[in-house]
Structure 1
Amino acid sequence: MLRATVSQNLPDLPNIDAALFKAPTMNDLTVAVPATHAPRFLLLYGSLRDKSYSRFLTFEAALTAMGGDVKIFDPKGLPLPDSEPDDHPKVKELRNLAAWAEGMVWTSPERHGAMTGIMKAQIDWIPLAIGAVRPTQGKTLAVMQVSGGSQSFNAVNQMRILGRWMRMITIPNQSSVAKAFLEFDDDGSMKPSSYYERVVDVMEELFKFTLLTRDASAYLVDRYSERKESTEALSKRVNQKNI
């Protein structure tokens, strides 16, 4: 059996280097030393109800975050996308948290077979890039949902699509809690069950994926098309300067 090396198969294209396809070293990851702080997680939930099971599930996830540094965003007061300027206090708060986080958890109720508008509005306020800052790209994501009836996966499937669009590393595991009104005590804590165990599984997996990828996020989202665009833009500026 013939085995060609990566370098033998690389197309003759600019901005392609065989070194890009070798296991990265710390020098390749553009970080001086590996991160040693607890992973930073931002948790979003998609309901404004006083008795919100998606919020209860989010708090439960925070309690099982394996010692991670957790912050929960309260969507109350967040305007609809594009209805207010970007410097709205709640928008700035959300974007600052997204930039701070190394991983996220999105938890939505299922409403009319989909995630809620409240959940989608939060995601829509987070752009792919703010100047040189990429609030979501290369970061980890876990998705969870609660249902009022039998178990379904419509909301988590939709959030997975959004996670891919936001260029996030969406972990394989997920949580879908059916008949959520039966799964929580009056104080909002989750009852022991297989649903609770799945939440713990999800947070454990998110923690592990974040440890493995946070130092490599810039390497993982480095793309040929973007390098090519940057090279062409630089060349254009140089040519204009020389005219």
Structure 2
Amino acid sequence: MTSREPSSRKTASRSSIRRGSALSETFPALQEQHLRQTDLEALRPAFSTHKPRILILYGSLREVSYSRLLAHEARRLLERLGSEVRMFEPRGLPLPDEAPASHPKVQELRELSQWSEGQVWVSPERHGAMTGIMKAQIDWIPLSLGSIRPTQGKTLAIMEVSGGSQSFNALNQMRVLGRWMRMITIPNQSSVAKAYQEFDADGRMKLSSYYDRVVDVCEELVKFTLLTRDASAHLTDRYSERKEHADELEMRVHLKSI
């Protein structure tokens, strides 16, 4: 019995150390020199006075395309709300990896994405998902071009049309992609069910709760864009990236000194 006591005390001591470490107020894994407190001034810069720059992408090539009609409805509303809006025509855009990035349509898309401060993605739902045409456009926009990230910190609104009952599958996928592209995806969204019933002979959206939600989304996008565009650099300034860049710099300096 006596011979077991030292071992028991040792085990208890180790357990006590582990519990104490877990409750410690120190930060052994943190590199303090790369941690920055939130800069309230950087979060509240003077507002830019130019019109919010919004890019609209839609995911259909059909002659009668309800996603295109919805995209134009959003364009009109955004312009009415004081935005400068451009739409990308996906016809002629090659499949990802089918052509080099120097392809004119790819260059056009990337330049528009870089120009924009906010975006609207409008896709039909096909087989329970966004269309390949919608996904191809997103896939052609890289996460980074050298030191430039074409979508990081930009706002995003998402909309979908479907031929049947209301669904949110395409919206859910686009919301995931928006996060992956490091965009600020606004909380509101629009799903237009039985879209063939929601537009008149002139291609204009009829009065309905669906239309009201589209207005809601456009209003919210403009507000979020105005609120975040001037603070975007501070909002997307990350500890992990500052630490990584410092490590890369140290390595380059070390190599030059050899």
Compute the TM-score of the two structures, normalised by the length of structure 2: 0.86
| Equivalent position to 2:66, from 25, 29, 53 | 53
Which residue of structure 2 lines up, in the alignment, with residue 62 of structure 1? 75
One-letter code aligned to 1:237: R
Identity level (%): 66
Contact persistence 2:151–2:181 (CA under 8 A)? yes
Contact persistence 2:157–2:221 (CA under 8 A)? yes
In the superposition, relative to structure 1, how do residues 232 and 81 fare at CA in structure 2: closer, same or farther (>3 Å)? same
CA distance in 1, matches of 2:33, 2:163: 51
Which residue of structure 2 lines up, in the alignment, with residue 25 of structure 1? 41
Q: Aligned Cα RMSD in Å?
A: 1.6
| Equivalent position to 1:16, from 14, 34, 54 | 34
SS for the counterpart of 1:64 is helix
CA distance in 1, matches of 2:227, 2:65: 33
Which residue of structure 1 lines up, in the alignment, with residue 18 of structure 2? none
One-letter code aligned to 2:102: D
Higher share in helix:
2
Give the deviation of 1:23 after TM superposition: 4.2
One-letter code aligned to 1:24: L
SS for the counterpart of 2:223 is helix
Q: Unaligned stretches of 5+ in structure 2?
A: 1-24
Count the aligned residue pairs: 231
SS for the counterpart of 1:21 is coil
One-letter code aligned to 2:77: T
Give the deviation of 1:131 after TM superposition: 1.1
Greater gyration radius: 2
Compute the TM-score of the two structures, normalised by the length of structure 1: 0.91
SS for the counterpart of 1:108 is strand
What does residue range 109-124 of structure 1 map to in structure 2 within 5 Å? 109-124=124-139
CA distance in 2, matches of 1:9, 1:191: 60
CA distance in 1, matches of 2:133, 2:153: 24
Which residue of structure 2 lines up, in the alignment, with residue 107 of structure 1? 122
Give the deviation of 1:107 after TM superposition: 0.4
Contact persistence 1:15–1:227 (CA under 8 A)? no
Q: Unaligned stretches of 5+ in structure 1?
A: 1-7
One-letter code aligned to 1:37: H
Give the deviation of 1:24 after TM superposition: 2.7
Which residue of structure 2 lines up, in the alignment, with residue 184 of structure 1? 199
Contact persistence 2:34–2:242 (CA under 8 A)? no
Contact persistence 1:106–1:144 (CA under 8 A)? yes
